[in-house]
Structures are given as structure tokens and as C-alpha cells.
Amino acid sequence: MADYLVIVESPAKAKTIKKYLGKKYDVKASMGHVRDLPKSQMGVDVEKHFEPKYITIRGKGPVLKDLRTAAKKAKQVFLAADPDREGEAIAWHLAHSLDIDENKECRVVFNEITKDAVKESFKHPRKINMDLVDAQQARRVLDRLVGYKISPLLWKKVKKGLSAGRVQSVAVKLIIDRENEIKHFKPEEYWTIEGTFLKDQETFEGSFYGINGKKQKLNNKQEVDEVLSQLKGKQFRAEKVAKRERRRNPAPPFTTSSLQQEAARKLNFRARKTMMIAQQLYEGIDLGREGTVGLITYMRTDSTRVSDTAKQEASSYIADSYGKEYIGPNRKNKNTERAQDAHEAIRPTSVFRDPQTLKSVLSRDQYRLYKLIWERFVASQMAPAVLDTVTVHLVNHEVEFRASGSQIKFKGFMKVYVEGQDDQKQEKENMLPPIEEGMTIDAKDIQPKQHFTQPPPRYTEARLVKTLEELGIGRPSTYAPTLDTIQRRGYVTLENKRFVPTELGEIVIDLLKEYFPEIIDVKFTAKMEDDLDSIEEGKTNWVTILDEFYNGFEKRLKKAEKEMEEVEVKDEPAGVTCEKCGSEMVYKMGRYGKFLACSNFPDCRNTKPILKEIGVKCPKCKEGNIVERKSKKQRTFYGCDRYPKCDFISWDKPLERPCPKCNGLLVEKKKKKGTQVECSECDYKESVQQ
């Protein structure tokens, strides 16, 4: 029989840890939180200093019964939930439910699930940190007060099923503000003059800079014509060749938000998917002979700190794999102001576990995310890249063009990894032939180009997460759930991977702006995050913070209940007749975006997906049209609009033109480097189009 009981959140984590601790330890999973505020009522007694009324979560009775039985038999119980506020709260709730003295040294924490890290943590158990618990409790109560007071008001005045929350409301407001910027944006005309120059049969690009060494903007065609009229012939003189050495430092290892951003850019992962796969890598992967091992450190962190041991291991790996000259300087960790320094950045638990060696034991998505984390960490510990940059000043009768280019002198960290945004810049780098001052260079072609300023782009998931982080709103654990919530409530939709606000979202934010301005105020929400951090650090009492908030909030709530008018959200007609009852179909917003529903609801419950025709006749029945559909997992596929009469289906987009080789169906396949046209019936392939 085991002497000690260890409780963690998940079975996967329990399985990994059990192998490290041996027979004396029984490791069980609580399956997340065991207690929470009730769903049927607010569960907070405002009059009694915001006392939370916790209840056992439905379905957790058998789990707690099993844990109580095991706890009674054990000499000691260790609570090993995750090393953050949420994990500390889970440990505290477990201690309460299992009658464990919270002042006992029953709490163990580790940032990585490896044998050494886990065993070391059990040598240093500690008491439950009530400051961390209070910070989590304050957030939970605060969110409950906002949600349970404002949401019923929105149900009554606007539409059932709506909710308001601090972070989600600010996120929706940011999306709406951006949409308004785009709507009110007035494009401005500007011009450039691009030149293609020739030196010893090598061509390179240059752009108009100015006249007589002074930079000049070109606002219209008239100004362009004036410049072109001053050019005499096609010969330019290399007036100046400026060379300098530039060093580019690697990006720091990942935090939660930077991982979500880079996984979106490089792997096309949604924030939720990134966190789900990261959790699998953290909790443990079966590596065969080595057993189950956690491959990355804890994935909810805003710290870029790296332990000395990990730095030394990285230096050793870099020296062996690339040479000593590739080892980077001992960089100081640049954390955000709010970073919890006990945490580390997201990194591999051992840099010697090269992604390629793990490919056979990881799923495709696990491999891709692990590779991204591994490469980013290794690169962060490497030497800067050294680039030689050259700028050539080309002059023709006082008209100056400039050509800039760079050449990598020493790859440094770029041998392993380049950040997503930098990849795009890298593609645009202009390689220049050797040019000396005084040389004569021929212009092969001079072309004026008209441009118009562009509005700011809509937010992608990655950009929204970055903006929330920069504004000090939310925490590593809240980004992905926030993005899910605002879509599920129908406040925004994701179109071409960018957020677009709905009419419903705009109505709700307008009401909040009028009656609860602090809920959508960026500075107020950021200050509240600072206050929660202050509670965590033991500097502020959590009840005091809630008191300060609630006094003003209660007054606004009473005013809103009296003055807020009902708002009718009209369904948009779809121009389609319901085939079941003859009523008009309307557009509705669901969890996965828009769909068609009968306006005669609830008498008629007919619903249909919105089908997008791609202009191709069905190759199977020759009667129907091919339409774009979505699977339950929101993956795009193509089928006949006569389904179920015709069961044609394809994951690849069918094309109208036939295969030139066999007359079969051509499809468009997505590849890493672009799209490729292939025949579905023979070996015909066309080159990849980027």
C-alpha cells in the first residue's frame, strides 16, 4: 500500500508523475476544479464581505469520495496542481474538501514534468499560498459580479443568452473600434518611382529618394512627371556607397501570448488549439524506453526567464551542433512588468531531445508545435546574426535613387530559426552586385507607380492577443477562452482569419459604453489586473479591491435597470424560402458562425448551413453544383448540392477544367509552399503556385 497520496488535475499528468515517484506514492487526478460558485445563482454574499458560496461541482462527488478514501489511508497528502493562481486555488479547494490543514506543507510545484524536477519539488513542499488563492478568488468573484448582474439585464433588454465580462467586453470593443477606423478611413494618393538597374549583367532594384539630396514625397502624377522630366538619359552615377555592419538579436523564448501568435503565423493554429497541444506536450508523451516524459515547461506564463541549468544545456548543445562561435552571450531576461518570476519561459525540458528524433512518437500537430518551441528556445540562446548592409546613392542630374541591400555575414541564430514577421522581411531583401563610388550604372527601366494608403487591418487572433497583452489586459490563462467566448456569444465572427463585429456585438458594446463605461475601459481593466497582481504579492486585501469596484458598479446597475431601453435585434432576411413551411429563411448566428433558420420558429425548426458555390458542376451526377461545406470540426470540404441524392465529396477543391492527360477531375491541393493542381485519377501535377 502507498504511504503518500499525490493529487494533480489530469489523468495524463498523474500517469507521468506516478512513474517518477515509485511505489510509495499513489497519484490521482481531481479532473480540474472540484468546487466552484453555483451556476444557478450568483453565489456571492456582497453583505458579508463578498463571501463566496462554493459548492461541489456536479459530477465531482464520486471523484471526491475516491480521493477522501485514499487520503484517509495515506500518511501525507501532497497537492501538485499547476504552478499558477488557478492551480493554487485547485489545491486550496482540495484541501478544504479533504480536511487537509492548509498551513501544513502539503503543496508541491514544478514548472516541468521531468523526473529530476518532480523529485526535487517533493524535497521542498510548502504551505498553500493564500495570496495566490485570494488573487484567483478576487478574479472569480469580480467576474461573477459583472456576469450575473449585467447578463440578466442584457437578456431582458436585448436577447437571451448574452453575457458581459471584463476581458471579453474590452476585446469586442477593440474589434469594433478597429472596424470603425476602417469604415471612416479615407485613402490618400501617393506615388513611387521604381527603378531596375543593371551592373555587369546583374539587375537590382532602387527607388526614387529625392532631389539634391533632400528626401521628397510624391503626392500626385504631376509631381512624378516633374521628377521624370529632370532625368537626362539612362546613366546614373554611384555618388555614395554606404556600408555598415548590423547585428540582429534573436527573439526571446516563448511566453503564452508569443507562442499563440507565432503558432498562428507559422502553423496556422488557433489559440485554443495551440494551448491544447501545448498541454499534451507539458503533461507527458510516451517516448518508449524512456517512458512518459513532459517535453516542455509549463505553458501558461508571461515570463521569458530561463533557468541557469537550461542555459548551460543549450550552450553545450549549440557548441556541439554548430560550433562555439554560435553560443550567445548570457542575456538578461526581459520580463513584462507583470511576469511571475518563479515561472520560466516555455522551452523544451531537454534541448537534447531534437524534434527530428521525436517525430515517430508525436502526432503531426504535436511535432510541429514542439519543433517551433524547440527552435525558438535554441535560437534565443545563440549568437546574434551579423549582416553587411549596403546603401547605394544613384544620381542622374540631381535626381537621386537609392538601392539598399544586405548580405548575411554570419548567420548566428538564423541558422536555426527566424521569427515569423522577420521571415517576410527576409524574402524582400535586395542583393546588390559589387558597386564602388564613382561607377556608372545603367537604368534598365524606370516605372512610376500609383498607391493609396491602406486602412489598418482587422485583428487576427494573434494580433488581438498581442494587443490585449500590450494593454495589460487578461493573463496567459485567459487569452484563448476569451477568443472562444466572444465568437460563441455571436459578438464577432472570424472571416478569412480576421475578426468582424456583428450587429449584436455593436449593440451590446454601445449599451455597456453608456451604462457601464468602466467595464469596457482599457485603463480601468488594466488597473484591475494590476490590483489582482497586488493581491497576489500580498500588498492588498482582496475584499478592499472588490469594495472599491462594487460601490460605483451598484449605482450604475440601478440606473441601467431604470433607464436602459429594450433593443430589437432583427434577423437579416436570407432571400430563401423554407422548403418545409414556405416562410422566409433568415440568417442566424450560431457557435460556428452564420446559418439559415426558418423565421416561423418555433412552429418550424428547419435550419440549413449556408452553402457557397464554387462555380463547378458535380463531376459525379453532372446535375448538381459543387458547394463548400464545413465538417463538425470546422474543416472545409466540398460536396454536391444535391446531397443526399448525390454523395460526391472531396477534401480538395475541385476545378472546372479537366485533366489534360486523362480528362479526369483536377483538384487544388494545399501545400506548405502554396497550392498545387493535381489530377484525382492519374499522376498529372502542375507546379506549386505561391
The residues annotated with a catalytic role in the active site are 298
Pairing mode, if any, of strands 4-8 and 25-29? parallel
Q: Are 27 and 2 in contact (CB under 8 A)?
A: no
Per-residue buried b or exposed e for 445-455, using 16+ beta carbons within 10 Å of the residue's own CB? ebebeeeeeee
Residue holding cell 541557469? 308
**Cβ-based neighbour number of residue 539 at 10 Å:** 10
Contact partners, residue 674, CB within 8 Å, separation at least 6:
688, 689, 690
Q: Are 176 and 165 in contact (CB under 8 A)?
A: no
**Distance separating alpha carbons of residues 454 and 458, to the nearest angstrom:** 12
Q: Is the dihedral of CA 10, 15, 21, 27 positive or negative?
A: positive
Please report, for residues 261, 308, 323, 378, the alpha-carbon distance to residue 414 in angstroms, rounded to integers and kept in the order given. 19, 23, 14, 11
Q: Looking at the chain, how many residues does it have? A: 690
- Cell readout for 446 is 524606370
- Cell readout for 453 is 494608403
Q: Are 71 and 100 in contact (CB under 8 A)?
A: yes
**Cβ-based neighbour number of residue 660 at 10 Å:** 11
**Distance separating alpha carbons of residues 310 and 346, to the nearest angstrom:** 11
Helices (H) and strands (E) in the chain, counts: 18, 29
**Distance separating alpha carbons of residues 572 and 587, to the nearest angstrom:** 5
Q: SS3 of 445, please?
A: strand
Q: What angle do CA 537, 539, 541 make, to 5 degrees?
A: 105
Residue holding cell 506516478? 18
Q: Is 65 exposed, middle or buried (0-12, 13-18, 19+ CB in 10 A)?
A: exposed
Tell me the backbone φ, ψ of residue 616, rounded to 5 degrees.
-125, 130
Q: Which of 594, 657, 508, 403 is nearest to 157 (CA)?
A: 508
Q: Which of 201, 187, 349 is nearest to 281 (CA)?
A: 349
Q: SS3 of 240, please?
A: strand
**Distance separating alpha carbons of residues 197 and 199, to the nearest angstrom:** 7
